[in-house]
A and B are shown apart, each in its own frame.
Chain A
């Protein structure tokens, strides 16, 4: 099989140069995505769904360029509030808060925003480049993944909980287990109501985004009330475009984390039903595990920020690959894209790739252009957003809290969101106060339902026999990689220890 179909590539330039209109849609699309992504509670999926009614007025290619631009913009938008006020704009930016916010509080807000943007755009670019070469293989690769392999991905995800434990091991893990349990409330795998205690609001489970914002962000905002500004040091509280640019350039110093994060993002994003909210966690975990100094994570290690942003952005490319190659959505955002495809009577899938390779290439190329344009648009966007640090905390806190409340209201469409937000803010504050690793609780909450389903599916498929896994070579390889990544830091430390002894 050929990697690149050159005649089709040639034809794709015809599509790309046919009209200037699609190109005009990129910048508005990116801005809408950035703004939507940056507003807590407004997810990329939601903003895409809101934009969907506009697209019938456009031709197919213009519509797809516009929607993917929104998608690309939203991929980075979530990082801005994550870094500046510890409030992830979407579930994909949870791991961005872990090191992004500590960086901001220590006065590295300009660099952190620039670095995040760089990781995000380069991650997107890498993912589309990989897709460009491997699109013919994506369908086959994705179809090789069954429930057992997904269960292994789930284990990768939960391993985060043990890492986020903070100072106190058993309390951190208890917080994670609490999150996993809360995450499974609602309709059980066999269609029964579970843990709703008669409340109709809980039928669909705890509203994840308001709960996440509550645990991670509002508790932190309350505590900020002790300070006059987000950044205590007056001298560090500056808005500097050169420093944003410096942060952007710094990304090349973290190329190892960047490329690992991008690859993880592509892989996790390509799995139908998983997507960016798992990818950023898996990537953060991998970065921390392979770092010689894992304890610096969570305290403002730029590697953590790069790992998260590279993965959540590149998972967009992975999801797009599955959408094009299989016609199946990898997550909420691509489900809306699929609807847009359908409105123009286009279905993805192997036949689409075979018959319309030129269109596929044109879509991939336009996405690469988008990620380059995101650099410019994003830099201007952060330059505007960063002034938040100049605002006094007493004015900032109520404003951000009211916006978070509105976002929670928007995401559930009723009062469940605001009330969930308030209750989980108190839970988050209590957890932080007594060292119960709030971040571990959020990871559990995000993964609970996914982990449970994949284990149930695996159990059903194997008929309950553990030996079934021996028939799954890919799952075995994935487990091996996981185990190696677990023991590697330990071996590494021993080796270094021996070396120093010898010297």
Chain B
């Protein structure tokens, strides 16, 4: 490593924090793109956003500035992004589901789900049901048996998350009253994972992607997906385990981390939009990015706008249909 490079990088960054390189060109893009991250810096989605921004910046040839605008369960930042010009110089990296459901249903958001184009659902996180490694619960059947006894088990989920809905839905489908479970509704993945690793709760449900740090202290019981996830072969797909009770529940993804642009961008600047999508695709599919993603355990799937739109809409509609269960 070269000391001069570090010093240069530090000095440039400290003094200018990445100044705009404005070169007069006709082609898009010709200046810095701002990428909104409606969450605080340092989380899993933020990390994915920053990796993606850096690869995309190389493809597009302009700097991409990731700006975190946290708050209000991702509402503050999403609202901000919705009010920026749809000229291709404002993009957003966010999990539209589950969060946008709450914005639209409860918070009076001025946007609708199809005001945006989900360019690529780059990482679809799945819900994983886990117990502490010291727990006596071994299988989903053990947990269901425990749930049938009032007040016996405690569990943890993130309040209002896909896991929260999936868990209540599973209990309802099995005919188990919600009051049987002492359910702690945490305010984030970190506290939920800590409580799970420390056996403060009997079981917990969070996104499996990002839970790697606690995998040594937990056992993975079930995954809320249609098929086994090769990364966690021991977690049984939930509907497979529920088959013996003759019930089935709809599969909700934990979150869909996606590149988002406003629909007007495609309508007003179709050429820019094509340039953007093509560059983004090249960035994601490049061998370097794929390698980095494998090393760093983050999502680097190219689903493209059509498939991504379907994924988001399916989750959105399921959440909408079942969110009444939270009441």
Contact flag (A, B; Cβ within 8 A): yes
Which residues of A does B touch, CB under 8 Å? Answer: 19, 21, 24-25, 28, 32, 45, 49-54, 56-59, 62, 142-147, 186-187, 189-193, 200, 203-204, 272-273, 326-329, 332, 335-339, 342-343, 345, 347-351, 413-414, 453, 456-457, 460-463
Chain B residues with Cβ under 8 A from A28's Cβ?
Answer: 10
Chain A residues with Cβ under 8 A from B195's Cβ?
Answer: 146-147
Which residues 63-87 of B sit at the A interface, judged by CB distance below 8 A?
67-73, 75-76, 79-80
Question: A189 to B5, alpha carbons, bound, how many Å?
Answer: 47
Give, as a whole number of angstroms, the nearest-CB distance from B41 to chain A: 4
Task: Give the interface centre of A336, A339, A342 by most chain B CB atoms within 10 Å.
Answer: A342
Give, as a whole number of angstroms, the nearest-CB distance from A188 to chain B: 9
- Nearest chain-B residue to A147 (Cβ)? B184
Give 20 CB contacts A-B under 8 Å: A24-B3, A32-B14, A45-B41, A50-B17, A146-B198, A200-B79, A203-B75, A203-B76, A204-B71, A204-B72, A273-B188, A328-B193, A339-B50, A343-B51, A348-B213, A453-B187, A457-B184, A460-B183, A461-B184, A462-B182
Give, as a whole number of angstroms, the nearest-CB distance from B62 to chain A: 15
Query: When the two chains form their complex, are residues A59 and B1 in contact, meaning their CB atoms are under 8 A apart?
Result: yes
**In the complex, which of the residues A190, A272, A349, A463 contacts B182, with contact meaning CB atoms closer than 8 Å?**
A463
| B25 interfacial by beta-carbon distance below 8 Å | no
Question: A21 to B1, alpha carbons, bound, how many Å?
Answer: 9
| B201 interfacial by beta-carbon distance below 8 Å | yes
Query: When the two chains form their complex, are residues A460 and B13 in contact, meaning their CB atoms are under 8 A apart?
Result: no
Query: When the two chains form their complex, are residues B6 and A332 in contact, meaning their CB atoms are under 8 A apart?
Result: no
Query: When the two chains form their complex, are residues B40 and A332 in contact, meaning their CB atoms are under 8 A apart?
Result: yes
- Nearest chain-A residue to B12 (Cβ)? A54
Question: A130 to B243, alpha carbons, bound, how many Å?
Answer: 52
Query: When the two chains form their complex, are residues B213 and A54 in contact, meaning their CB atoms are under 8 A apart?
Result: no
Question: A404 to B299, alpha carbons, bound, how many Å?
Answer: 41
Question: A347 to B47, alpha carbons, bound, how many Å?
Answer: 13
| B214 interfacial by beta-carbon distance below 8 Å | yes
Query: When the two chains form their complex, are residues A189 and B185 in contact, meaning their CB atoms are under 8 A apart?
Result: yes
Given A203-B75, A343-B47, A457-B184; A336-B13 close (CB under 8 Å): no
Chain A residues with Cβ under 8 A from B72's Cβ?
Answer: 186-187, 203-204
Give, as a whole number of angstroms, the nearest-CB distance from A107 to chain B: 36
Given A204-B72, A460-B183; A49-B42 close (CB under 8 Å): yes
Chain B residues with Cβ under 8 A from A191's Cβ?
Answer: 73, 102, 106, 159-160, 326
Chain B residues with Cβ under 8 A from A145's Cβ?
Answer: 198
Chain B residues with Cβ under 8 A from A413's Cβ?
Answer: 67, 69
Query: When the two chains form their complex, are residues B212 and A347 in contact, meaning their CB atoms are under 8 A apart?
Result: yes
- Nearest chain-B residue to A340 (Cβ)? B42
Query: When the two chains form their complex, are residues A62 and B6 in contact, meaning their CB atoms are under 8 A apart?
Result: yes
For the complex with contacts A203-B107, A461-B154, A461-B184, 16 further pairs of A-B residues with Cβ separation under 8 Å are A19-B1, A25-B6, A53-B13, A54-B10, A54-B14, A56-B54, A59-B1, A143-B197, A144-B198, A145-B198, A192-B106, A203-B76, A339-B47, A342-B47, A345-B295, A460-B184
Give, as a whole number of angstroms, the nearest-CB distance from A224 to chain B: 33
Nearest first, the 10 A-B pairs at minimum CB distance are A143-B198, A204-B71, A327-B213, A335-B42, A146-B200, A203-B72, A49-B41, A339-B42, A349-B213, A191-B160
Which residues of B does A touch, CB under 8 Å? Answer: 1, 3, 5-6, 9-10, 13-14, 17-18, 40-43, 46-47, 50-51, 54, 67-73, 75-76, 79-80, 102, 106-107, 151, 154, 159-160, 182-188, 190-191, 193-195, 197-201, 212-214, 216-217, 295-296, 326
Question: A190 to B184, alpha carbons, bound, how many Å?
Answer: 11
Question: A54 to B8, alpha carbons, bound, how many Å?
Answer: 10
Query: When the two chains form their complex, are residues A273 and B182 in contact, meaning their CB atoms are under 8 A apart?
Result: no
Query: When the two chains form their complex, are residues B6 and A461 in contact, meaning their CB atoms are under 8 A apart?
Result: no
Question: A336 to B80, alpha carbons, bound, how many Å?
Answer: 23
- Nearest chain-A residue to B198 (Cβ)? A143
- Nearest chain-A residue to B70 (Cβ)? A204
Question: A50 to B16, alpha carbons, bound, how many Å?
Answer: 11
Chain A residues with Cβ under 8 A from B186's Cβ?
Answer: 457
Given A191-B160, A327-B213, A350-B217; A272-B68 close (CB under 8 Å): no
Give, as a whole number of angstroms, the nearest-CB distance from A451 to chain B: 13
Chain B residues with Cβ under 8 A from A58's Cβ?
Answer: 1, 6
Query: When the two chains form their complex, are residues B68 and A49 in contact, meaning their CB atoms are under 8 A apart?
Result: yes
- Nearest chain-A residue to B48 (Cβ)? A342
Query: When the two chains form their complex, are residues A193 and B107 in contact, meaning their CB atoms are under 8 A apart?
Result: yes
- Nearest chain-A residue to B195 (Cβ)? A146
Question: A460 to B178, alpha carbons, bound, how many Å?
Answer: 12
Question: A204 to B194, alpha carbons, bound, how many Å?
Answer: 24
Question: A60 to B51, alpha carbons, bound, how many Å?
Answer: 16
Chain A residues with Cβ under 8 A from B296's Cβ?
Answer: 342-343, 345
Query: When the two chains form their complex, are residues B79 and A461 in contact, meaning their CB atoms are under 8 A apart?
Result: no
Chain A residues with Cβ under 8 A from B14's Cβ?
Answer: 32, 54
- Nearest chain-A residue to B217 (Cβ)? A350
Give, as a whole number of angstroms, the nearest-CB distance from B38 to chain A: 11
Query: When the two chains form their complex, are residues B190 and A190 in contact, meaning their CB atoms are under 8 A apart?
Result: no
**In the complex, which of the residues A53, A189, A339, A461 contacts B201, with contact meaning CB atoms closer than 8 Å?**
A461
**In the complex, which of the residues B5, B73, B151 contacts A463, with contact meaning CB atoms closer than 8 Å?**
B151
Given A193-B106, A338-B42, A339-B47; A142-B187 close (CB under 8 Å): no
Chain B residues with Cβ under 8 A from A328's Cβ?
Answer: 190, 193-194, 213
Question: A190 to B158, alpha carbons, bound, how many Å?
Answer: 10
Question: A50 to B18, alpha carbons, bound, how many Å?
Answer: 10
Query: When the two chains form their complex, are residues B42 and A329 in contact, meaning their CB atoms are under 8 A apart?
Result: yes
Give, as a whole number of angstroms, the nearest-CB distance from B65 to chain A: 9
Question: A257 to B68, alpha carbons, bound, how many Å?
Answer: 39
Chain A residues with Cβ under 8 A from B200's Cβ?
Answer: 143, 146-147, 461
- Nearest chain-B residue to A413 (Cβ)? B69
Chain B residues with Cβ under 8 A from A187's Cβ?
Answer: 72-73
Question: A326 to B198, alpha carbons, bound, how many Å?
Answer: 10
**In the complex, which of the residues A53, A186, A203 contacts B18, with contact meaning CB atoms closer than 8 Å?**
A53
**In the complex, which of the residues A52, A57, A462 contacts B41, with contact meaning CB atoms closer than 8 Å?**
A52
Give, as a whole number of angstroms, the nearest-CB distance from A59 to chain B: 6
**In the complex, which of the residues B43, B68, B194 contacts A142, with contact meaning CB atoms closer than 8 Å?**
B194
Question: A343 to B107, alpha carbons, bound, how many Å?
Answer: 34
Given A204-B76, A339-B42, A462-B182; A54-B9 close (CB under 8 Å): yes
Given A54-B13, A57-B5, A336-B41; A190-B194 close (CB under 8 Å): no
Query: When the two chains form their complex, are residues A272 and B190 in contact, meaning their CB atoms are under 8 A apart?
Result: yes
Chain A residues with Cβ under 8 A from B216's Cβ?
Answer: 349-351
Task: Give the interface centre of A59, A189, A460 by most chain B CB atoms within 10 Å.
Answer: A460
**In the complex, which of the residues A25, A272, A456 contacts B194, with contact meaning CB atoms closer than 8 Å?**
A272
Question: A338 to B68, alpha carbons, bound, how many Å?
Answer: 16
Give, as a whole number of angstroms, the nearest-CB distance from A72 to chain B: 17
Question: A142 to B3, alpha carbons, bound, how many Å?
Answer: 39
Chain A residues with Cβ under 8 A from B47's Cβ?
Answer: 339, 342-343
Given A349-B213, A350-B216; A461-B182 close (CB under 8 Å): yes
Question: A56 to B53, alpha carbons, bound, how many Å?
Answer: 13
